[in-house]
Every structure is written in structure tokens, then in C-alpha cells.
A and B are shown apart, each in its own frame.
Chain A
Amino acid sequence: DIVMTQSPDSLAVSLGERATINCRSSQSVLYSSNNKNYLAWYQQKPGQSPKLLIYWASTRESGVPDRFSGSGSGTDFTLTISGLQAEDVAVYYCQQYYSTPLTFGGGTKVEIK
């Protein structure tokens, strides 16, 4: 199984500042034949189900604000929230879909400082 490790477990960021969340996979999720990274990011607000934010490591889902961006390749990935808003308070998860079993990171909780 591919193990997904997120860091930090939690972070507190001031409104309008940048939040950076890291995700590392135990093996590469870059598929060489199509040069795509099989990595998605989800946002889970309190009391809600997860919501897809980004897939293919950097493609924003329709309707997701452009302050959310994904980057990275191979085994190391980053979700950046540029200009944190109050409504961004949530737990963020990465997920690899390079191989089954599909696996998720442990989550990173983002709060307002």
C-alpha cells in the first residue's frame, strides 16, 4: 500500500496570510506514461463531508477559488492557500489514486490565528 503522510498535523494562520500543507507518498505517484501525478486534495469543514479541491496534483476542481493551488511531483506535494479566509477553516486531506488500495493522508487542520 502507498502510505500518505501529511505535515503539519495542524497550523494556525492569520487571515489573509498563506497556509502551506505538505503531503508525502511512500512511493512515487507519477505515472511516467502520461506524466500525471495521481494525487488529489480534499477539504472537510466541521460537520461536513469532504469536498474535492484539486486533482492531478494541480488541477483545481470547478468552482474552487483560485487562492487554492496544488504543486509537487513524484512523492512530495503541497497545497497552498494564498490569503486565508475565515471559511477556509477545515481539515485538508491528500489522496493518492496511483494504485489500489486508494489511500488518504491523516489530515491537516487549518485554523485562524
Chain B
Amino acid sequence: QVQLQESGPGPVKPAETLSLTCTVSGGSISTYYWGWIRQSPGKGLEWIGYIYSSGSTNYNPSLKSRVTISVDASKNQFSLKLSSVTAADTAIYYCARVYHDSSGYFFDYWGQGTLVTVSS
């Protein structure tokens, strides 16, 4: 059973960079896509982006200028960096495995989520 666990340093100040890591257990990170989704009261569920184990990425255009997703296969981890954060980036951040079939991408395993608060 694949399990995902988000981790991060905690609260972030405005204008700083949010950094989160997702550790995958119970399976290899190879040959799969891996994604980030966030959930805030104001905007519901929002897809941030995904990465293939080889490193190719696809980002939500609304966040693309500020987002970087990377993968470290040796550690079975992938990471999210979101720069220049504001209070609007306060949300629960989820990492998830992406089920990929026939050019379709949805999420079949999710982490428990981590609340990131942007506050000075």
C-alpha cells in the first residue's frame, strides 16, 4: 500500500518561499507521476502541478511563475517550492500519486495534508 507523507518547516512569512517535501513509502517513485494539490476555504481544491519520476513537469498556469516541483528518486521523495507567498497561499497542501492513463491524470493516493500558514 503506497503511503505519502508531507513535511515542511512550518509557518512562512509573506514574500518568502514555501517548501514542502513528500516522502513516498510502500512503493517506488519511479514510473509514476506525483502531484501537489492545495485546499483553502476560499478556493476549494486547487491543482498546483505534477512531476514525472524522470523530472518532467506540468504546472497550473495560475501559479506557474512561482512554482517549482522536483523529484529525488534516491530518497523516494518529491518536493514543492512556492515563492513570494502571500496570505492567499495559506492552505492545506496535499501530495498525491497521479494515476496516468490515456493522457488522463487524476489522484489515486493522497497524503494526509499539511497546513501551511502565511503570516508575519
Contact = CB atoms under 8 A, between A and B. Distances in A.
* Chain A contact residues: helix, strand, loop or mixed: loop
A63 to B, nearest CB: 11
Contacts of B112: 48-49
Contacts of B99: 52, 55
A103 B43 CA distance: 11
A97 B106 contact: yes
A22 interface: no
B120 to A, nearest CB: 28
B32 interface: no
A61 B108 CA distance: 9
Interface in A14-73: 31, 34, 36, 38, 40, 42, 48-52, 55-56, 61
Contacts of A38: 104
B105 to A, nearest CB: 5
B45 A50 contact: yes
Contacts of A98: 104
Interface of B: 44-47, 58, 60-62, 94, 99, 102-108, 110-113
10 contacts: A40-B107, A49-B113, A52-B107, A52-B108, A55-B99, A55-B104, A97-B106, A100-B47, A102-B106, A106-B44
Given A40-B106, A97-B104, A101-B62, 7 more contacts: A36-B102, A49-B112, A95-B106, A95-B107, A100-B47, A101-B47, A102-B47
